[in-house]
Structure 1
Amino acid sequence: MAFENPSREEIKKILEEVGTIAVVGLSDKPDRTSYMVAGAMQSRGYRIIPVNPMAAGQQILGETCYASLRDIPEPVDMVNVFRRSEFCAEVAQEAAEVNARTLWLQLGVFSDEAAEIARQHEMNIIMDRCIKVEEAILRPVRS
Structure 2
Amino acid sequence: MAFQNPSREEIKRILEQSNTIAVVGLSDKPERTSYMVSEAMQAKGYRIIPVNPNADSILGEKSYPSLKDIPEKVDLVNVFRRSEHTPEVAEEAAAIGASAIWLQLGVYNEVTAEIAGRGGLQVIMDRCIKVEDSILLPHGKSKK
Which TM-score tier does this pair reach, normalised by the shorter chain?
A: over 0.9
Unmatched 5+ stretches in structure 1: none
CA apart distance, 1:53: 1.1
Partner residue in 1 for 2:11: 11
> Secondary structure of the equivalent of 2:31?
coil
Partner residue in 2 for 1:136: 134
1:43-58 equivalences under 5 Å are 43-55=43-55, 58=56
Measured against aligned partners, the alpha-carbon deviations of 1:12-59 in whole angstroms (never above 9, x if no partner) come to 01000000000000000000000000000000000000001111xx12
Q: Note if 1:98 corresponds to 2:96.
A: yes
Correspondent of 1:59 among 57, 60, 69: 57
Partner residue in 1 for 2:75: 77
Measured against aligned partners, the alpha-carbon deviations of 1:46-97 in whole angstroms (never above 9, x if no partner) come to 0000001111xx1200000000000000010000000000000000000011
Length-normalised TM-score, structure 2: 0.96
2: distance between equivalents of 1:93 and 1:121? 8
Partner residue in 1 for 2:39: 39
> Secondary structure of the equivalent of 2:87?
helix
Partner residue in 1 for 2:27: 27
Measured against aligned partners, the alpha-carbon deviations of 1:106-132 in whole angstroms (never above 9, x if no partner) come to 000001111001110111000000000
Partner residue in 2 for 1:115: 113
2: distance between equivalents of 1:134 and 1:43? 15
In angstroms, what is the RMSD of aligned CA positions? Answer: 0.8
- Supply the AA of the counterpart residue of 2:70: I
After the TM superposition, which parts of structure 1 deviate over 4 Å for at least 4 consecutive aligned residues?
A: none
- Supply the AA of the counterpart residue of 1:7: S
Quote the sequence identity (%): 67
> Secondary structure of the equivalent of 2:86?
helix
CA apart distance, 1:141: 1.7
Unmatched 5+ stretches in structure 2: none
CA apart distance, 1:140: 0.6
